[in-house]
Amino acid sequence: MKDPRRAAVLGSPIAHSLSPVLHRAAYEVLGLETWTYDAFDVDEAGLPDFVGGLDASWAGLSLTMPLKRAILPLLDEVSPTAAEVDAVNTVVFGADGRRTGDNTDVPGLVAALRERGVERVDSAAVFGAGATAMSTMAALRSVCDGPVRAYVRGVLRAQEMFEAGERLGIEIQVRPWEDAHKGLDYPLVVSTTPKGATDHLVDGVPATPGVLFDVVYDPWPTALAAAWSQAGGTVVGGLDLLVHQAVLQVEAMTGRPGPLKEMRAAGEAALAARN
């Protein structure tokens, strides 16, 4: 029997995460009987000790809030994509113990949009300014031909967005969060905010909406996603992103392509059981 291999998702809070469901489904399909995938509630203060205590059985880590930036100083190498967005959601441990960080959110966002037929748009609006928003900006380089308007809270977040635009080579027009309702008319709207943050925008959904990508997956649908769908708009959900980025994580950690169909089915079943 092969030696056991371990992987896990870290974050705080973490109990809601569907990552264990998706990765375990992949391991079952791929016949990786000695692989395990767990979830650990780890905050920024506890991250260095946790990572430092991992042994050679560990293959990789998935990272969610608030650790996507906190992990950076603990890595030996960072992929160009992760460096551009200043955020890592995937760590792979090499045979020599080296820790390599990557960001599968960026290609995952592109794949989720293209799966729903979104190849190109002439402009887009993004709600939020966290790590997922930065990944969204990088992904939009492959999707959006024109400027991106970002609706954010606070001067610091606005400055971070300006800097991101310069780093990524895209035009980002930053606007205050109080004007977020004006972004609903864009052909592509991406909400990277926590659950409940966009509920107040429901009454502003256009009569003929474009595409909404809402990265929340639990609870689903969000109030905005439900209103958008009812108005006839296309909705891409957080589970779509979660599955596509997890498929890439499975391949990075195991060396074998993640089974998209089975992983999606496992995620849908888990969400249905919660509701």
CB 57 within 8 A of CB 6: yes
- 96 with 203, same domain? no
pLDDT of residue 72: 97
Local confidence band at 240 (pLDDT 50, 70, 90 cut-offs): very high
Q: What is the pLDDT of residues 49-96, one digit of tens each?
A: 999 999 999 999 999 999 999 999 999 999 999 999 999 999 999 989
- 225 with 250, same domain? no
Task: Write 211-214 long-range contacts (CB < 8 A, 24+).
Answer: 211/113, 211/116, 211/118, 211/121, 211/187, 211/235, 211/236, 212/236, 213/109, 213/112, 213/113, 213/188, 213/189, 213/237, 213/241, 214/238
- 77 with 110, same domain? no
pLDDT of residue 127: 97
Catalytic residue from among 2, 68, 182, 261: 68
pLDDT of residue 138: 94
- 221 with 136, same domain? yes
Distance from chain centroid for Cα 217: 11
Q: Catalytic annotation on 68?
A: yes
- 71 with 136, same domain? no
18 DSSP 8-state letter: -
Q: Which residues contact 184 (CB under 8 A, 6 or more apart)?
A: 125, 201, 204, 205, 206, 209
Residue 9, amino acid: V
Distances (CA, A) of 62 to 13, 90, 102: 14, 5, 10
pLDDT of residue 165: 84
- 113 with 177, same domain? yes
**Three-state SS for 170?**
coil
Distances (CA, A) of 72 to 6, 93, 100, 245, 252: 21, 14, 10, 19, 18
CATH code of the domain containing 115: 3.40.50.720
How many other CB atoms are there within 10 angstroms of residue 87's CB atom?
26
C-alpha span between 181 and 134 (Å, rounded): 21
CB 134 within 8 A of CB 157: no
Find the domain containing 175 and state its range.
106-238
C-alpha span between 41 and 51 (Å, rounded): 13
Sheet harboring 172-176: ordered strands across? 172-176, 148-152, 124-127, 188-191, 211-214, 234-237
Instruction: Examine the pLDDT at 13 and tell me if it is beyond 70.
Output: yes
- 76 with 157, same domain? no
Mean pLDDT of the chain: 95
Tally of domains within the chain: 2
- 133 with 217, same domain? yes
Q: What is the pLDDT of residues 214-234, one digit of tens each?
A: 999 988 999 999 999 999 999
CATH code of the domain containing 253: 3.40.50.10860
- 145 with 131, same domain? yes
Q: What is the pLDDT of residues 123-167, one digit of tens each?
A: 999 999 888 999 999 999 999 999 999 999 988 888 888 888 888
Q: What is the pLDDT of residues 37-50, one digit of tens each?
A: 999 999 999 999 99
- 81 with 196, same domain? no
- 111 with 61, same domain? no
- 87 with 210, same domain? no
C-alpha span between 43 and 115 (Å, rounded): 34
Instruction: Examine the pLDDT at 1 and tell me if it is beyond 70.
Output: no
| Strand partners for 235 | 212
How many other CB atoms are there within 10 angstroms of residue 94's CB atom?
11
